[in-house]
Structure 1
Amino acid sequence: MLKARVIVTLKNGVLDPQGKAIEGALGGLGFEGVDHVRQGKVFDLQLDTEDRAAAETQLKAMCEKLLANTVIEDYIINVT
Structure 2
Amino acid sequence: MALSEEERIRVQARLDEARDALHRLELGQAEASIAYNGESVTYTQTNAGSLRKYVRDLEVQLGFRSMARARSRGVVFG
TM-score when scaled to structure 2? 0.27
Q: Which has the higher contact order (CA 8 A, sep 6+)?
A: 1
Where is the helix percentage greater, Structure 1 or Structure 2?
A: 2
Where is the strand percentage greater, Structure 1 or Structure 2?
A: 1
TM-score when scaled to structure 1? 0.27
